[in-house]
Structure 1
């Protein structure tokens, strides 16, 4: 156990707390059991270590990565019980999906160690989503999205800017732009950078290798995470990768399910299953009509990659500008927790109330003129007017 403590202390010393994700302030860290979910690469491990370093007494805290070889010969329960007997009260468990019976042991710790606070996370969101009912009732779940444009600017420059509620942004966007430009004189410059390499915090480790790391991340999710969560044939993995490439190079992608199934040599029902699986793995976002409930048999109206970095990594210079714009908007609204669906007219319906059309400078209200709460989100625009709002500004919602 001393070796585990030594590794944890080394990690903690290396943890930078100059930039902390906004989610950290929203988590109820006092809860008995917390689960932090999110796609690979979003910074869940860092978030836990930052909270320990900035908030908790070191002697009461232990961070364990359950993929450590130590757990090939020792149980989590034995380590946790010794930690608790020695006065430990805050246990952080990372990569929990790599430990065979983590759910049962975490449940037992929760039930029989009433003073113990447990935080769990892991790089495979599919594995975390499959926690059993008994454990799920005990866990407070939080989702860590990819970086917003606001967070990207903060991480890149050290400039901390406020986040805004959607209704404030719609009503006061001109004043908000004025406030932002006092600290960031060229928001469009950062917006362009964000579209290429802004979704994941590891851009700080080297922008030139960023897109290559994204491709590696995609391969790990498809080749390892998905088969661990659900048995599948090798041929299916290749089809999933081909499906992602088709989506990445498309104009905002409205799927013809039958034709798409033919393109990747599969059946219609199997394709719908694949789209649902990629959505759960947080590689794509399926935009569905507000008229229908979410069902495997209801095809999505549009399909997007989960963020702009995935598009840039897969499209290899063939990214469509309309796809980039709509993906950015969808990502930022979803990341802020707003419900987004497919409208009768326009591109997006938000919270069953606001209709949005996304486009370039020449976009007009023609398609959404009859909608009572209609707005344009416009690219290449620094300042907006009335209901014509700069697209980049929607990156300040979280």
Structure 2
């Protein structure tokens, strides 16, 4: 166990707390049990270590990564019980999906160690979603999205900027742009950079190798995470990758399910299952009409990659500008927790209230003229007018 403690202390010493994700302030860290979900590479481990370093007494805490070889021969329960007996009260468990039957052992710790606070996290969303019902009732779940444009600017420059609520942004966007430009003189410059390499915090480790790391991340999710969570054939993994590539190079992608199934040599129902699987793995977003609800058998009206960095890594220079714009808008609104669905008119319906059309400088209100709460989200625009709002500004919602 001493070896585990030494690894934890080394990690903690190397943890930088100069930039902390906005989710940290929204988590109820005092809860008995917390689960932090999020796609690979979003910074879940760092978030836990930062919380420990900035707020908790060192002697009361222990951070464990359950993919450590130590747990091939020792149980989590034995380590946790010794930690508790020696006065430990805050246990952080990372990569929990790598440990067999972690749900049962965490449930036992929760039930029989009433003074123990437990935080769990893992890179496989599917594995975390499959936690049993008894444990799910005990866990407060939080989702860590990819970086917003606001967070990207803060991480890159050290300039901390406020979050804005959507209704404030719609009503006061000109004043908000003025406030932002007091600290960031060229927001469009950062917006362009964000579209290429801004979704994941590891861009700080080198922009030149960023897209290669994204490709590696995709391969790990498809080749290892998905088969661990759900048995599947090797041929299915290749089809999933082909499906991602097709989506990445498309104009905002309205799928013809029958034709797409033929392209990747599968059946219609199997294709719908693959789209759902990729969505749960947080590699794509399926935009559905709110009038039909979410159902596997209801085909999505549009399909997007989960963020712009995935597009840039997969499309290899063939990214469509319309796809980049709409993906950015969708990811920023979803990351901020707003409900986004497919409208009767326009590109997006937000919170069943606001209709948005996303486009370049020449985009007009023609398609959404009859909608009562209609707005344009416009690229290549620093300042907006009335209901015509700069696209980049939607990156300041979280």
Quickly name the TM-score band, shorter chain normalised: over 0.9
- What's the offset of the Cα at 1:124? 1.0
Whole-Å separation in 2 of the counterparts to 1:282 and 1:232: 18
- What's the offset of the Cα at 1:125? 1.2
Q: Per-residue displacement from partner, 1:113-155 (whole Å, max 9, x unpaired)? A: 0000000001111111110001000000000000000000000
- What's the offset of the Cα at 1:290? 1.1
Q: Per-residue displacement from partner, 1:196-227 (whole Å, max 9, x unpaired)? A: 00000000000000000000000000000000
Superposed, 1:117-266 pairs within 5 Å as 117-266=117-266
- What's the offset of the Cα at 1:99? 0.5
- What's the offset of the Cα at 1:88? 0.3
Whole-Å separation in 2 of the counterparts to 1:72 and 1:272: 37
TM-score (norm 1): 1.00
Whole-Å separation in 1 of the counterparts to 2:207 and 2:221: 21
Whole-Å separation in 2 of the counterparts to 1:68 and 1:289: 43
SS of 2:361's partner is: coil
- What's the offset of the Cα at 1:340? 0.2
RMSD between aligned residues: 0.3
SS of 2:303's partner is: strand
- What's the offset of the Cα at 1:101? 1.4
Q: Deviating runs (4+, > 3 A) in structure 1?
A: none
SS of 2:346's partner is: coil
SS of 1:137's partner is: helix
Whole-Å separation in 1 of the counterparts to 2:100 and 2:131: 12
SS of 1:109's partner is: helix
- What's the offset of the Cα at 1:59? 0.2
- What's the offset of the Cα at 1:354? 0.1
Whole-Å separation in 1 of the counterparts to 2:230 and 2:47: 28
1:46 is matched with 46
Q: Per-residue displacement from partner, 1:32-60 (whole Å, max 9, x unpaired)? A: 00000000000000000000000000000
Whole-Å separation in 2 of the counterparts to 1:153 and 1:83: 39
Whole-Å separation in 2 of the counterparts to 1:392 and 1:75: 48
TM-score (norm 2): 1.00
SS of 2:138's partner is: coil
SS of 1:62's partner is: strand
1:323 is matched with 323
Whole-Å separation in 2 of the counterparts to 1:191 and 1:129: 33
Q: Per-residue displacement from partner, 1:262-306 (whole Å, max 9, x unpaired)? A: 000000000000000000000000000011010000000000000
Whole-Å separation in 2 of the counterparts to 1:48 and 1:333: 25
SS of 1:375's partner is: strand
Whole-Å separation in 1 of the counterparts to 2:280 and 2:167: 29
SS of 2:375's partner is: strand
Whole-Å separation in 2 of the counterparts to 1:257 and 1:176: 42
- What's the offset of the Cα at 1:8? 0.2
Q: Per-residue displacement from partner, 1:54-78 (whole Å, max 9, x unpaired)? A: 0000000000001111111111000
Whole-Å separation in 2 of the counterparts to 1:363 and 1:97: 46
1:28 is matched with 28
Whole-Å separation in 2 of the counterparts to 1:268 and 1:361: 38
SS of 1:145's partner is: coil
Deviates more, 1:119-128 or 1:249-258: 119-128
Whole-Å separation in 1 of the counterparts to 2:155 and 2:124: 24
Whole-Å separation in 2 of the counterparts to 1:73 and 1:250: 48
SS of 2:34's partner is: strand
